[in-house]
Amino acid sequence: MTEAHEHQRHIVSPKVYLAVFLSLLCLTALTTAASFVELYVFNVVVALAIAVIKAALVVLFFMHVRYSNRLTKLTVASGIFMFCVLVGMTLTDYFTRAWGQW
Amino acid sequence: MPDSPAIASSGAATAVETAHAAAHPDYLRHHFESVEQQADTTNFAMWLFLLTEVMFFGGLFMAYLIMRNWYYPAFVEASHHLSIFWGTTNTAVLITSSFTMAMGVWCAETRRKKGLLLSLILTFCLGLVFLCIKGIEWHAEWVQHHVPGLHYSVESFVNPASDPEIYAEYHDRALSPAMALRTEMYFFLYFAMTGMHALHMIVGISILGFMILRARAGSYTNGHVTFVENVGLYWHFVDIIWIFLFPLLYLVSRHG
């Protein structure tokens, strides 16, 4: 009976945590290093891309979403989707207000 | 339950009770079918809470993006006054604390009481280190009169050479007085975002302190790990907020 309960919960091993931890530290060093290189508009793109990768690592492994049930995965995905919709719609408004006026 | 001497004396009753205790440990609430269902439900609720937090911080990020787009020169030069060294250090501190928190969850799942205590104490201390470093930065901004509304000064922006160290590194041009005033908006958003993040850290650290006391008494290593897991989710979420705050506030404007 107890085995059945513990069988259903996936325990993430410390090796995975350690690998994710080291990747996050490397990505932090990389993002700081990249900010010292003149990349013009791509400074923002690179910084945000690295931040998204770091956040994805945290969500998938530290927060166990990769090993979670479908309900959790759907919840997280719908939250990210909704956030992108809100940001996208707001930015299309603000960034296009002056269009055609110059 | 009415006493029934016939069953109580039989000995079979104890076997039934043992089986019952295994299926229904005392931490399983009555309204749940199984431990599994209880864990799934709590996990789902925690994620719903975190989604509301995403929307809350999302508004601040949104304001930052729009204001940076409007008052670009002011935001670039204002961000040059933050310390990339402290920002990077603090990111490393917070990521390490997320790792120790994750290890705490593993220790609880595998019923390692000493490991759990060590992980929680390390996470607690790293959280305090983060706040101390943030305090050093806030103090530097206070000394430079960069706290909005409290003797805010645009001197560093209308006369960049007045700040020799930063001028030597960035060679910022003097902003017009009207644009220089907009740097106050950058610092307003900076304090609102890092302050709200720090408030979440304080809440997290307080809960960790409570958990350390409970863990010493043997909680969380008896198979009931839901609370540790959910506090872990909260802690990692606060880490993610910082993962986005750090590049947006400190890094992206370095080359303006």
What's the CA gap between B179 and B158, in Å, rounded?
9
Q: Answer left, alpha or beta for residue B163, where phi above 0 means left and psi between -120 and 50 means alpha.
A: beta
Taking the CA of residue B152 and the nearest CA in chain A, the distance in Å comes to 28
Task: Give the model's pLDDT for residue B29.
Answer: 85
Distances (CA, A) of B238 to A58, B196, B232: 11, 10, 10
Q: Answer left, alpha or beta for residue B220, where phi above 0 means left and psi between -120 and 50 means alpha.
A: left
Tell me the pLDDT tens digit for each residue of A41-80.
899 999 999 999 999 999 999 999 999 899 999 999 999 9
What's the CA gap between B7 and B43, in Å, rounded?
40
The yes-or-no verdict on residue B23 having pLDDT over 80 is no
What's the CA gap between B210 and B184, in Å, rounded?
38
Task: Give the model's pLDDT for residue B8.
Answer: 47
Question: How many C-beta neighbours within 10 Å does residue B198 have?
Answer: 18
Taking the CA of residue A100 and the nearest CA in chain B, the distance in Å comes to 17
Per-residue DSSP letter, B176: P
Distances (CA, A) of A67 to A12, A14, B184: 8, 15, 45
Decide if domain B43-251 falls under CATH 1.10.3720.10: no
**B77 and B157 in contact (C-beta within 8 Å)?**
yes
The pLDDT-based confidence of A8 (bands split at 50, 70, 90) is low
**Cβ contact, residue pair A35, B255, below 8 Å:** yes
Tell me the pLDDT tens digit for each residue of B38-89.
888 999 999 999 999 999 999 999 999 999 989 999 999 999 999 999 999 9
**Cβ contact, residue pair A35, B65, below 8 Å:** no
Taking the CA of residue B177 and the nearest CA in chain A, the distance in Å comes to 24
From the list B106, B129, B147, the residue with the least C-alpha distance to B201 is B129
What's the CA gap between B219 and B47, in Å, rounded?
23
Probe site for chain B from A6, A11, A24, A39 (most B CB atoms < 10 A):
A24
Task: Give the model's pLDDT for residue B44.
Answer: 94
The yes-or-no verdict on residue B170 having pLDDT over 60 is yes
Taking the CA of residue A5 and the nearest CA in chain B, the distance in Å comes to 7
**B193 and B249 in contact (C-beta within 8 Å)?**
yes
> For the purposes of burial, counting CB atoms within 10 Å of the CB of B214, is it exposed (0-12), middle (13-18) or buried (19 or more)?
middle
What's the CA gap between A37 and B17, in Å, rounded?
69
Residues of B in contact with A11 (CB under 8 A): 106, 109-110
What's the CA gap between A24 and A46, in Å, rounded?
15
Q: Domain coordinates of chain B in residue numbers? A: 43-251
Q: Which of B48, B96, B252 has its CB closest to that of A47?
A: B252
Task: Give the model's pLDDT for residue A45.
Answer: 93
**Cβ contact, residue pair B47, A21, below 8 Å:** no
Probe site for chain A from B91, B243, B245, B248 (most A CB atoms < 10 A):
B243
**B191 and B147 in contact (C-beta within 8 Å)?**
yes
Quote the mean pLDDT of chain B: 89
The pLDDT-based confidence of B19 (bands split at 50, 70, 90) is low
Task: Give the model's pLDDT for residue A6.
Answer: 45
What's the CA gap between B134 and B11, in Å, rounded?
64
Nearest CA in chain B to A90: B62
Percent of chain B with pLDDT over 90: 66
The yes-or-no verdict on residue A5 having pLDDT over 50 is no
Q: Which of B39, B239, B255 has its CB closest to that of A38?
A: B255
With tokens 């325990």, the residue in question is A11
Structure token pair of residue B35: 């431990």
